[in-house]
A and B are shown apart, each in its own frame.
Chain A
Amino acid sequence: MPRIIVCLKQSVDVSQLKADPSTGRLVTAGVSRKISDFDKNALEEAIRIKEKNGWELATVTVNFEEVKASIREALAMGADKGFVVLDEALKGSDTWVTSSVLAKAVGKIGEFDLILCGEASIDGFSAQVGPRLGELLKIPVITYARKINITQKTVQVERVLEDQYETVEANLPALVTVTKEINEPRIPSLMAIMKASKKEILTWKLADIEVSAEEVGESGSGVRIRDVTVPQVGRKKIRIEGETAAEIAEKLVKELVKEGVVGK
């Protein structure tokens, strides 16, 4: 049976992030985790391909902290099986390491026809892991898909770029990254959630995929994070008030002329 693999990242829910008022540092501890938004679009697309063509669908996730609840959600949505590489040594890994570990995990999962990833993750937004993974697996890479068509041997994709759409085609197996506009991810029914509890989640340590601790984390990475700070926006926040819209408009235009952004 042909197989699709979807790479799922568990990221912090960025809408819940706050700065610690005393230090100005970002607080990520205690913030809830979820499947990164675009990865969910990738999963939804994979489920649709599976439903249409009868393919098998596995997810793969790499992390240094617990991800089970996220994978359960993916299984409830429609994935058949979840593979997780979970190892504390992975902390501090960059996209180069993450994609290398994913490549090893995919190698262990076995044959596949299509890999789907989100265009980027909602926290880091680097858009690197998909293309890097495709490169490591030496298969065609197609990024920024808003439409995917599968035939027996090929994948046809409509890409969204800054100022144009591009229709491209490649032979399978291939890796495609998807945009948010490709679909609306489903919300699993209670029934599906119950059924999913019987589906299998396989968890590997690094040793199980023959990766050593030195190859991951900061020691294996090409980039290390030095500091994370909260940006300061120094805005004036002047409220322009008035009895009528005309009065407000008059005051605003005066200010804009003073700022030198309007007028000669």
Chain B
Amino acid sequence: MGEKKGVWAFSENMELLKELLACGSPLAAKLDTELSAVLLGGDMKEKANELIKHGADRVLIVDNPNLRAFHIETCLAALTKLAKEKNPQIILIGATKNGKDLASRLATRLQTGCTPDCSQLFVDEEGWLTTKRIVFSGNAIVTASYLKTPQIATIPSRTFEKLEPHERTGNAEKISMSLEEPKVKIMKIEKMEATDVKIEDAKIVICGGRGVEKKEDFSFFKELARTLQGQIGNTRPLAEDRKWFSSWVGLSGKKIKPALYIGCGISGMIQHVAGMRDSQVVVAINKDPEAAIFEVADYILVGDLYEILPAIVQELKKTLN
């Protein structure tokens, strides 16, 4: 693996970046090397300190006006220059959609491999990074390792628990570079309707599928969500076909791992299951006794969600008071 040394972490999302440090920390320890966080933008002093508290030995800061607002191309240019200059052996990137785009292109510029959406990472006997991730719509787990360096991997949010912050010493290193204007111009950004808590962070998620007949019927869900202080989720057809929501849980949507998942009127197609299989406790309500969702459930309730959900709300109110 020649001259290359160091484990790097980068994400445009500060929370995810801290999770990447938690992922990178044992890798750096095993390889007896430094763990660095990369910060791109301006005014980074406070952030740098925070990252050091969360496990970074070094923070590489690139301050450039073109990096103040996030753009894949400027981040890509900055990361490419940094990596060519400093030769890290591992680069961990947050698997947001932009992050996955960025990582693929960085790997191309650095002429190396990249494994996406990793859920486990370790260093093998020979010192190569080895990763595990879900493929085939959740039907299989593939273990892969690298043949070239730097070894690039992307990691979804909520895969690793942030380390407890504590006072540590670390270096903040400022690097200046010139960056070209990006080729793709961002004309407009429109926020999706946001709920207060992100579903990825929710402790309890009540998920609805096509068994829910009308959008208004989600009022049952809302009541249950209020009672449990949980969040509402949904399958893809409710977003894509019925346009009731702008996002969904699943392989091509949000990956959640709440303490409690309650799935109502959901068949349990593998693409949905891929997004919720890491939930701690799974409850499924479906009127079809053969529904596939029951194969991945801890508690199986065969019946009509329109009868069972209100009864659960009633019972919970009794219990919680």
Residues of A participating in the B interface, judged by any CB pair closer than 8 Å: 12, 14-15, 17, 19, 26, 94-96, 99, 119-120, 122-132, 134-136, 140-144, 156, 160-171, 174, 179-181, 218, 221-231, 233, 235-241, 244-246, 248-250, 252-253, 255-257, 259, 261-263
Contact = CB atoms under 8 A, between A and B. Distances in A.
Given A180-B252, A252-B283, A253-B312, A161 B301 contact: no
B312 A261 contact: no
A263 to B, nearest CB: 7
A144 B252 CA distance: 11
B252 to A, nearest CB: 7
Contact of A246 (B105, B147, B183, B314): B314
A222 B135 contact: no
B298 to A, nearest CB: 4
Contacts of B183: 140, 170-171
Given A132-B105, A238-B300, A261-B281, A226 B145 contact: yes
B186 interface: yes
A235 B139 CA distance: 16
Contacts of B109: 135
Nearest to B282: A235
A143 B140 CA distance: 26
Tell me if B's interface is mostly helix, strand, loop or mixed.
mixed
Contacts of A181: 240
Interface of B: 72, 96-98, 100-101, 103-105, 107-109, 111-117, 130, 134-148, 183-192, 194, 198, 204, 228, 240, 247, 251-252, 254, 259-260, 270, 277, 280-283, 294-303, 307-308, 310-312, 314-316, 319-320
A237 B298 CA distance: 4
Nearest to B71: A168
Contacts, number: 244
A223 B297 CA distance: 35
Given A223-B145, A236-B299, A167 B187 contact: yes
Contacts of B277: 231, 233
Given A222-B146, A248-B303, A261-B280, A26 B140 contact: yes
Tell me if A's interface is mostly helix, strand, loop or mixed.
mixed
B301 A240 contact: yes
A124 B240 contact: no
26 contacts: A26-B136, A95-B113, A95-B114, A119-B252, A126-B115, A127-B116, A131-B101, A141-B72, A161-B96, A162-B247, A164-B189, A167-B189, A168-B184, A222-B107, A223-B113, A227-B142, A229-B140, A230-B139, A231-B138, A233-B296, A235-B298, A245-B310, A253-B319, A256-B283, A261-B259, A263-B320
Contacts of B140: 17, 26, 228-231
Contacts of A222: 107, 111-114, 146-148
A74 B116 CA distance: 28
Given A140-B184, A249-B315, A235 B107 contact: no
